[in-house]
Chains A and B, each alone.
Chain A
């Protein structure tokens, strides 16, 4: 792999707190190595700002391995930037070239208010899980792990749905700010497993109700969520969610 260095212009959203009015600021960074991660480039910028006596840019991140779901930058009009199936923290600078201008914004959705600069509040996702995204089994109640065989295909499909990292990129990508991909991933994960069976109906109804309450928009099947999801959560989960929901509402009527 050939490595190179580059100089870049950055247009970054700055916002002091949830109520302040935000706006873009321009910055430039030089000598950025193509081997750096995108967030390491931000580290360089922040160190520069600190040295200049300015305030560094607040952004969320923790694992920097693409698994915790904390990082959340809207880069050049795409959540998590230009690479497929990649979180912001795993995006590397070889995606860019010398002289590029990069625009960085926070997730934009009413249900995700800005906390500061590029950090947003995704507590709505936790509350959707609280509404039913679990199996009601107290500690110590379990039978032997192998007592109930599960078809490998189903177990694998449940796993792929459970791979959602709760980052919120699907919401940020959607023009309606819908949380359907996130929600459908959780509903699918649990609906595909026998353990999730007993609460299948109440779960989907309660979780959908909570989603609506949080102010997420409705789904118009644009597919933007699937295209942007760093964990490649399939839009077929939304179809499953709709079936689950329909089945549940038929029964409850």
Chain B
């Protein structure tokens, strides 16, 4: 039976109680305790910095050439916090409630409440580090709204919030490196967990510059390795984002929670051709001011500006008058797919909808004219002023759109389509963020914990930093306090030798295949199976086909992949091959999980389970649980359920109408 170790007591007291009673490690002992942190995104960099500050001996790893380049850098829109600076009715409870509801009642109450509680501290910490958040003329912090909420609680730094937050965490990390508390390993990839007597005792890592395998001891290991959206090949994730670290942990016994819960983001630049290597997100903040529409007539090929107002269907505003263009992501994505599947899509591929700024430009222009007392401003002048306002707010996003598509979004509506963006699923963790393997923790997007079946915008950055700065520093002490008598174990220990050997053999096996098809071609094929059959809409027949297709693909991969170059040198193809091999196995599990969940919830839409008007239909009586998978043998998993108990919130059908 899985024990989530949720503290007793009232929901809003649990974390305070926990902090008041968890065991501590004294400073002298901290110096003797070694912690390995895999990943330096928001979760990993903040954890490594915070643990270094506390005096633990930390080793941090990332596969990029600098910790500052982790995928968190790409986050655009913002970070939530229950500060209620806008006096618009926000509170810890409301952020908690919105997150639970947004997650379609598939997240754990206690974790989410803690997240909402520490959210305010995150903003304070980041400001103190010098993160240049957007400010108002009075010098105070500025907020904006994001999908799935009705308050303004999102803090941001233009369209590059992730970069500014990560630089804050990276600087804190580098400070600890300079102080000698953290040792940083860049261009390193963790390839296995080392277990001794049932506890995690270290990792095997590969130096990507020369292919050498290394053994590293730690009293505990933190996986902060990010999400696995690249299982779909095309996603908004960075090219290197992968599941390998989490998958190796899974193979060592860590349960994988809700693997099929994937977030498809509604506002991305559509696919332009077969050469496409990744998809680019257009921040959700654009839905604040932009209006989404398709022509009312199916197959309309007129240019957008030639389609008169009355022939446009603002389908989100029509279907969801209360939230309009600001419905949560899963709802907005499905609505776009519905229109395109029904033949109303736009652009040459017909797989796109318009995101239109004309109305916003005019509205802002009029406000500016009003401010300047220009009662008789011509419409050209109004539009000019409006464009300037839009430029100040969203300029870098508009520029990015123009660079990629060659079209000017100030003049022509943008074309957008949903794309894979985030994975709510991940390694199962308890309240302390420990996986089912003792001493092995998972933080940030790599764990399954806080977002249920759908994540609200601006909540991943919040979770990563909450886990790293404010949760793990307490919870890890509760474990390490029992380890103060464990001396550092020599990496000559047989468990290290054996783990290294397994890794070595797998690499050799990959190199020896010497087949005819490139790693990339396998990854593309896997992505297509996943997107077609385990993407925005899923059904039993499709998922079963997908499972057998993936099994066949796996066989073909292991008999026909071609990896050029050598083992003992920098070899990006070999790195990628290992990752794609893991993605293939994960893809199978995602389909199994999606098949097992006979309901629709959040981002998981089973076509068999929808209301008459096409909304997701949950089945709380049977599926109010976290689905956790234990690997038993090749392609064989056992399901362990963690029931979700709602003491505070009453699950209801989500309505954004």
Contact = CB atoms under 8 A, between A and B. Distances in A.
Interface in B74-114: 74, 83, 85
Contact of A150 (B139, B171, B174, B281): B139
B275 A53 contact: no
B388 interface: no
Contact of A133 (B67, B174, B210, B518): B174
A166 B67 CA distance: 11
B160 A163 contact: yes
Interface stretch (A60-68, A73-81, A176-184, A221-229): A60-68
Contact of A56 (B65, B278, B473, B573): B573
B178 A135 contact: no
A137 B174 contact: no
B393 interface: no
Nearest to B68: A166
A148 to B, nearest CB: 8
A150 B135 contact: yes
Contact of A119 (B210, B239, B407, B570): B570
> Interface size for chain A: under 10, 10 to 19, 20 to 34, or 35 or more residues?
35 or more
Interface stretch (A138-146, A212-220, A245-253): A138-146
Interface stretch (B123-131, B426-434, B500-508, B579-587): B123-131
A139 B400 CA distance: 34
B229 to A, nearest CB: 13
B53 to A, nearest CB: 5
Nearest to B403: A90
A100 interface: no
Contacts of A136: 175
A133 B299 CA distance: 55
A69 to B, nearest CB: 6
Interface in A128-166: 129-131, 133-146, 148-152, 155-156, 158-159, 162-163, 165-166
B275 A36 contact: yes
Interface in B26-57: 46, 49-50, 53
B164 to A, nearest CB: 6
A141 B53 CA distance: 12
B564 A55 contact: yes
Given A63-B73, A129-B174, A134-B174, A149 B139 contact: yes
B132 A145 contact: no
A25 interface: no
B520 A47 contact: yes
A86 interface: yes
Contact of B564 (A54, A126, A190): A54
Contacts of A66: 400, 403
A151 B564 CA distance: 55
Interface in B478-525: 518, 520-521
B139 A67 contact: no
Nearest to B208: A115
A94 B406 contact: yes
A203 to B, nearest CB: 11
Which interface residue of B125, B175, B275 has the most chain A CB atoms within 10 A? B275
Nearest to B239: A62
A33 interface: yes
Contact of A126 (B53, B67, B172): B67
B614 interface: no
A159 B131 CA distance: 8
Contacts of B50: 139
A198 B22 CA distance: 35
Given A62-B240, A63-B74, A190 B130 contact: yes
A193 B564 contact: no
A116 interface: yes
A82 interface: no
A237 interface: no
Given A56-B573, A134-B174, A145-B127, A62 B69 contact: yes
Nearest to A68: B69
B569 A116 contact: yes
B636 interface: no
Contacts, number: 224
A121 B518 CA distance: 27
Nearest to B136: A152
Contact of B124 (A35, A37, A58, A144): A144
Contact of B239 (A64, A121, A155, A162): A64
B140 A146 contact: yes
Contacts of B403: 66, 83, 86, 90, 92
B272 interface: yes
A174 to B, nearest CB: 20
B249 to A, nearest CB: 22
B132 A69 contact: no
A190 B276 CA distance: 39
Contacts of B167: 162
Contacts of B172: 134, 137, 139
Contact of B277 (A40, A94, A189): A40
A61 B239 contact: yes
Nearest to A167: B69
B400 A62 contact: no
B121 A142 contact: yes
A47 B564 CA distance: 11
Given A122-B66, A134-B171, A163-B160, A65 B400 contact: yes
A195 interface: yes
A115 B570 contact: yes
A239 interface: no
B128 A135 contact: yes
A68 B407 CA distance: 24
A152 B272 contact: no
B395 to A, nearest CB: 12
Interface in B559-600: 562, 564-565, 569-573
Nearest to B73: A68
19 contacts: A35-B273, A36-B273, A50-B562, A50-B564, A54-B564, A62-B238, A65-B400, A67-B163, A69-B66, A119-B570, A122-B65, A122-B66, A126-B67, A139-B469, A141-B128, A143-B124, A146-B83, A162-B157, A166-B68
Interface of B: 46, 49-50, 53, 64-69, 71, 73-74, 83, 85, 121, 123-130, 132-141, 157-158, 160, 162-164, 167, 170-172, 174-175, 177-178, 184, 186-187, 209-210, 238-240, 272-273, 275-278, 280-281, 400, 403-407, 469-470, 473, 518, 520-521, 562, 564-565, 569-573
Q: Which 8 A-B pairs have the closest CB atoms?
A: A149-B139, A134-B171, A142-B128, A159-B132, A142-B124, A1-B406, A130-B178, A145-B127
Given A64-B239, A152-B137, A195-B128, 13 more contacts: A35-B275, A37-B277, A40-B276, A53-B564, A56-B573, A62-B239, A63-B73, A66-B403, A70-B69, A119-B570, A139-B50, A139-B473, A142-B124
